[in-house]
Structure 1
Amino acid sequence: MAVRFPRHLKPIEPQGPVLLEQERKAASFDPKALMTTLYGEDYLKKRDAILKILENDPVLGDKSHRYYTGREVRFKKALAAAKRFVELIKEHNWTKEDFGIADFLFDESGPLRLHRSMFMPTLENQATEEQQKIYLEAARRYEIIGCYAQTELGHGSNVRGLETTATYDPTTQEFVIHSPTLTSSKWWIGGLGVAANHAMVMARLISNGKDYGPHPFIVQIRDLKTHEPLPGVTVGDIGPKFGFNTVDNGFILFDNIRVPHIAMMARYSKIDKATGDYIKPPNSKLAYGTMVFVRANIVLESRYVLARAATVAIRYSAVRSQFVDDASPKKIQNADGSSKIVETPVLDYVMQQYRLFPVIAQAYACHFTALEMHRMYHENQAKMAQGDFSYLADLHASSSGLKSLTTTLGSAGVEDCRRACGGHGYSLFSGLGQFYQDNLPKVTWEGDNYILTQQTTRYLLKTFRTVAAGRVAEKDANFSASYMMEYLSNPKALCPITQASDLSNPEILLAAFKHRAAFLVAKAVHNIDVEQKTWNDMLVDVYRISRAHCQLMMVSNFVKAVFGPSAQQSNETRVLQKVAVLFGVSTLEQEMADFLTSGYISPEQSLLVKERSIQLLKEIRPEVVSLVDAFGFPDYLLQSSLGAQDGNAYVRMTRAAELEPLNQSKVADGYEEYIKPFVHGGQQKWKIGKDGIARL
């Protein structure tokens, strides 16, 4: 008989649903209106329709097993879910966008994710029409299942250092794929461990004795009938990870595997079939456009990461009450009309606000920055189609730094929110533990976060030198060059604030972030060009420059979205304006060392920044539950006892505990074998009587 909590017992008053309802009534805006502004009506209609399908699906509807089962069971269920998704795509004729919504709501990476997100996109972007007819059409029907095999045991960030080789043999017109060392083992490859029968292998192209660096090759790795590894292929799963354990990350080694000439992706560069001569791509930067798009999506995903964590922590902080605030005790009315003092919701404590409200601001900042990145991406694609690549370097550099910054913010934000939930945040029932584990790889994949900042800073230093030399006209200046011009026109500028309220002016905030970023760039250029410091000696400064530039971009994009001429004046906009200022002020406070070092802000003004930060917490306090409601995350997605929309945190926690396998009988499995021998053996020496234990 399973353990059950007594159903007549209720949480202490006031209960969660009442507290959340009070919070929602206190807001000055309609969260549904803001939700529509963020996502659009069409998206929300699609989401609701797809959500209904998923919630009622026999395979995908119940996610509770995720709490209680180990990797083997979870992976088998992930395989079943992957199969069911393929069936639903065909059954409902889902578009790529429809499936993206379904995948987002289901919120579990599975064995076919890399097939869709890396294998097929590589075929779409780098395969010729002939190759697409052979491989891509089959991949879309799931007749072949692929993965993207780039990272190796010994090399991740340094793609140029990959060791796997693809040597062209003109006598047979084949490429020989080979793993010459142990460290050339492909490693961390999602979908490779179990599911994939093909791999898009990044290998060093060698032809006529010359090494042309890494290029993509499609390689069959398993038999299509038996699924056994092909001769010469050593392949398997790398084992359990910190998170993401429903993905079969795998390893693979090749022992002189031969693949046909058509296996090399040849849309941009190719090998002449007869001579083995290498034909260069028309422009080496063409692949950067795809990288920008991927990183823009990662910025948008960071918004989701921060928003989801904030939703759980804010809702639970409104429900969770601890201690009595003697200065302003909270009271509730009894049924007889009298009142009694109750504990204070932790959301009323300024320290809790100081920890959580900036996370909400970061989520909204990521949202508007991602939208701007997508707009810039499409604009750049149009320019490149006309042969204009002038826009690409700035966009690529900024996307690299933003990927680094926003994924770092995301991981830190989830952990801050988990801690803000107290002890219950450590329970998987909070919805934050597994989420945190699965989010962590984002700081490493698509470029290690510290390595990526070097790309951003190299570009900024080059831009500064060009601007300082007077080789950029003001009318032709992009975002980066413009703020550097402003700095060079007045490098000794000082912040004009005299009181805390001055920091509500978005132009004052923007000016501070511009000066700080330009100052750091100018100082680095001087250290390298004049002081002759090495790049390695400058790496800490390099990281800070990228961070400063990208924080400026985020402040600028947020300000433009809610203060700009296109922003509609409404209650929703007025609240978002306060959130934008909070993002700027809290970031400024966090990075105060840079602003003080530049001399732009004085120590006295830094105290005004702290003062304004605390003021903003009080101003935003009535709005925060509705601000997270506006993110629009259904309970099916959140999977959180603490953060559910109805506020029944403690009821949900106890119901979840009832489902724990150890609680399915009153006497747990293992008692007879491991506990009973000690207890019963001891009864020969004592017995329990009315007065307690008496020795015999």
Structure 2
Amino acid sequence: MNDNAMKKYTILAKKLKKLQNEKDPNATDIFPGALGGEIVRYIAPQGNPFLLQNHMFIPTIKSQGTPEQIQKWVPKAESYEIIGTYAQTELGHGTFLRGLETRADFDRKTDEFILHSPTITAYKWWPGGLGHTSNYAVVAAQLYIDDKPYGIQMFVVQLRDLETHMPLPGLKIGEIGNKMAFQTVNNGYLGFENFRIPRTNMLMKNAQLHRDGTFVKSPASVLTYFTMVNVRVSIVMHSYMSLARAATIAIRYSAVRRQSKINPKEPEHQIIDHLTQQMKLFPEIAKALALRLNADCLTSMLKAVQAEILKGDLSRLAEMHALASCLKTVSSHDAVAGVETLRLACGGHGYMLASGLPIVYNFAAASKTYEGENTVMLLQTARFLMKAWALALKGGELVPTVMYLNEAIKVKKFQKWDGSWECMVKSLQFVAANKIRIAFDHLEARKRNNMIFEEASNLTSIELASAAEVSSILDQNFVCF
């Protein structure tokens, strides 16, 4: 199955490259986005074996590498001379990135890093394409200089011989096995045994390590993980596509399938004529459109923030991270629930693989876990909201997403309901603001009771998650259900 998917994908890449050469002979990238987009879902319905090459390996080097590093690796990756993956999650740690165990110790004598997996839980686990396809990886590891930790950094690592495709000495690589979906993505594991790479393989646009061992800290630690913010934004769009695909299947089925008589004197009706069927179908169509609007707005914001980052402006980085986290959570949850509703609306036929719905469901279900488990994502957004509420109490200047908090602090009682769109937005903002207030008050009360912040946060986590979930409708440009 994996070999067949790679064969199809390779043929597609060659055809697209031929078309691109006819358009621009000097271009190196193959129709940006084409090889990671909707077309691949049809030629490789169980997953794209080069998925992380396009969505994480290349973008990470572009966003975190120096001009020299970008020139060294990106043209080769875009022309598929090398195949990369993104190795961050470990067997023992996923969303808790500070807990990653893989070490990168700087050797002053040789000007190299020594990558090592000290325990079995430190093995990289889940990277797409790692099992068979990739010969390079961006690896997240704890940087150590003279046995002193300096936090997570990203390193470009060659994994396999470019001629024989065999794993290099000092590496343990394999496939983790079958999953609910993505069977052709060949997710893998990776262990290091004192594996050496040059110092210049650390991506150094934001943080640098000089030859003498001097470390220059990144201006913002979240820049190290900004690739994940990109992917979370794309998940919102993928959630829309999954739900829209399922809705299309269910609508077509409902227009063809006939079941039961509404009027005894007439033939059996199309099941779409039954009001109960409409109640299953139509809300999911509306929800899919809402997710599309969210995805478009979030993508536009991401491009703007990326442009600001290039100019050294990091003022909206936290806001971007918070929005991507909560909208990833809400959109993936709603897409999975919606696809299941639509599958059930197709009766027994929806249970058949031939309907396409089980495959759509399994793909959508994965998005609730990868790139940040949903509950953890809500709690990350909640931390941003707690800071915003504290700032609003002091009369500070808030970012656009939470500007309504300034007014909410003054409002003790909701205005009269009139059913208008403006009133609907105000009511949702009122509910969101009060959920934030409740979570903030409970958190502060526990801290005043001599609890450390982490314990207080854990005991307040239900209120925090609830506040983050309802606050998905934070900005007037986002219409999230």
TM-score by length of 2: 0.91
Instruction: Choose the corresponding residue for 2:188, options 250, 259, 263.
Output: 250
Q: What one-letter code is carried by the residue in structure 2 that aligns with 1:546?
A: A
Q: How far does residue 288 in structure 1 lie from its aligned partner after superposition?
A: 6.2
Residues 1:261 and 2:186 aligned together: no
Does structure 2 conserve the Cα–Cα contact (< 8 Å) formed by 1:463 and 1:481? no
Give deviations 1:362-408, integer Å, cap 9, x for gaps.
Answer: 11111111221122223333444444333332222112111111011
How far is the alpha carbon of 1:421 from its aligned partner?
Answer: 0.7
Q: How does 1:91-490 map to 2 (within 5 A)?
A: 91-93=18-20, 94-99=30-35, 100=37, 102-103=39-40, 105-106=42-43, 108=45, 109-273=47-211, 275-287=212-224, 290-325=227-262, 329=263, 341-472=266-397, 478-482=400-404, 484-490=405-411
- Asked if 1:536 is matched to 2:458, the reply is yes
8 Å CA contact 2:250, 2:346 repeated in 1: yes
Q: Residue 430 of structure 1 aligns to which amino acid in structure 2?
A: S
Higher relative contact order (CA 8 A, sep 6+): 1
CA contact (8 A) 2:55 2:231 kept: no
Deviation for aligned residue 1:321: 2.0
Secondary structure of the residue aligned to 1:550 is coil
Please give the alpha-carbon distance, in whole angstroms, between the structure 2 residues aligned to 1:114 and 1:493: 47
What is the CA distance between 1:451 and its match in structure 2?
A: 0.4
In the alignment, which residue of structure 2 is the partner of 1:491?
A: 412
- Structure-1 separation of matches of 2:226 and 2:128: 23
Q: Secondary structure at the match of 1:268?
A: coil
> Aligned AA for 2:429?
K
Match of 2:27 in 1: none
1:345: how far off?
2.4
Q: 1:217 to 1:453 in 2, by over 3 A?
A: same
Going from structure 1 to structure 2, the CA distance change for 1:548 and 1:301 (only over 3 Å counts) comes to same
Q: Is the 8 A contact 1:510 1:556 kept in 2?
A: no
Instruction: State the shift of 1:477 in Å.
Output: 5.8
Which one is further off, 361-370 or 295-304? 295-304
Secondary structure of the residue aligned to 1:557 is coil
Amino acid at match of 2:285: I
Are the aligned partners of 1:145 and 1:196 in contact in 2 as well (CA < 8 Å)?
A: yes
Q: Secondary structure at the match of 1:163?
A: coil
Task: State how many pairs are aligned.
Answer: 463
Alpha-carbon distance in 2 for matches of 1:133, 1:381: 20
For structure 1, which segment, 383-392 or 453-462, has the greater mean C-alpha deviation from structure 2 after superposition? Answer: 383-392
Contact 1:111 1:190 in 2 (8 A): yes
Map Cα deviations across residues 621-659 of structure 1 (whole Å, 9 max, x no partner).
xxxxxxxxxxxxxxxxxxxxxxxxxxxxxxxxxxxxxxx
Give per-residue Cα distances to partners, 1:567-626, cap 9 Å, x unaligned.
Answer: xxxxxxxxxxxxxxxx8xxx5xxxxxxxxxxxxxxxxxxxxxxxxxxxxxxxxxxxxxxx
Q: Is the contact made by 1:289 and 1:381 (CA closer than 8 Å) also made in structure 2? A: no
Aligned partners of 1:397 and 1:455 also within 8 Å: yes
| RMSD of aligned alpha carbons | 2.1
* TM-score (structure 1 length as normaliser): 0.63
Counterpart-to-counterpart distance in 2, 1:284 and 1:477: 20
SS of structure 2 residue aligned to 1:305: helix
Please say if residues 91 and 123 of structure 2, whose CA atoms lie closer than 8 Å, have aligned partners that are also in contact.
yes
Q: Which amino acid aligns with 2:72?
A: I
Report what 1:516 is aligned to.
Answer: 431
The Cα of 1:190 is off from its aligned counterpart by 0.6
For 1:146, the aligned partner's letter is: G
What letter corresponds to residue 95 of structure 1 in structure 2? F
For 1:176 and 1:540, locate their aligned partners in 2 and report how far apart those are by CA, in whole Å.
42
1:548 aligned to which of 470, 476, 480: 470
Q: Judging changes above 3 Å, is the alpha-carbon distance between structure 1 residues 387 and 256 closer, same or farther for their aligned structure 2 residues?
A: closer
Q: Which amino acid aligns with 1:547?
A: E
Could you give the per-residue CA deviations for residues 430-462 of structure 1, whole angstroms, max 9, x where no partner exists?
111112112222111121111011111111121
Residues 23-102 of structure 1: matches in 2 within 5 Å?
74-93=1-20, 94-99=30-35, 100=37, 102=39
CA contact (8 A) 1:321 1:344 kept: yes
Residues 86 and 312 of structure 1: CA distance in aligned 2, closer, same or farther (over 3 Å): same
Q: Which amino acid aligns with 1:448?
A: E
Contact 1:128 1:266 in 2 (8 A): yes
Q: Give the superposition deviation at 1:283.
A: 4.0
Query: Partner of 2:442: helix, strand, or coil?
Result: helix
What amino acid sits opposite 2:406 in the alignment? Answer: M
Contact 2:9 2:40 (C-alpha < 8 Å) held by counterparts: no
Query: Kindly tell me: are residues 76 and 380 of structure 1, through their superposed partners in 2, closer, same or farther at Cα, counting changes over 3 Å?
Result: closer
Q: Does 1:526 align with 2:428?
A: no
Distance in 1 separating the partners of 2:140 and 2:221: 17
Separation in 2, partners of 1:377, 1:509? 27
2-side partners of 1:453 and 1:287: how far apart?
20
Does 2:461 match 1:557?
Answer: no
Cα offset, 1:428, TM superposition? 0.7
Judged with a 3 Å threshold, the aligned counterparts in structure 2 of structure 1 residues 490 and 131 are, in CA distance, closer, same or farther, namely closer
Cα 1:556/1:121, change in 2 over 3 Å: closer
Decide whether aligned partners of structure 1 residues 417 and 551 sit closer, same or farther in structure 2, where only a CA change above 3 A counts. farther
1:201, 1:531 → 2: CA distance? 39
Gaps of 5+ in 2: 21-29, 450-455
Q: 1-side partners of 2:321 and 2:341: how far apart?
A: 30
| Secondary structure class of the residue paired with 2:149 | strand
Aligned residue for 2:183, secondary structure, equals coil
| Cα displacement (A) at 1:102 | 3.2
Question: Highest CA radius of gyration, 1 or 2?
Answer: 1
- Alpha carbons of structure 1 residues 385 and 415: separation in structure 2 relative to 1, 3 Å: same
The more displaced of 428-437 and 289-298 is: 289-298
**Distance in 2 between residues matched to 1:182 and 1:535, nearest whole Å:** 30
The separation in 2 between residues aligned to 1:417 and 1:101, in whole angstroms, is 21
How many percent identity over aligned positions?
38
Q: Aligned partners of 2:38 and 2:346: how far apart in 1?
A: 28
Answer whether contact 1:464 1:481 (CA < 8 A) is retained: no
Letter in 2 for 1:157: T
State the Cα distance separating 1:262 from its structure 2 match.
1.7
Rounded to whole Å, the distance in 1 between the matches of 2:406 and 2:72 is: 52
CA contact (8 A) 1:208 1:277 kept: no
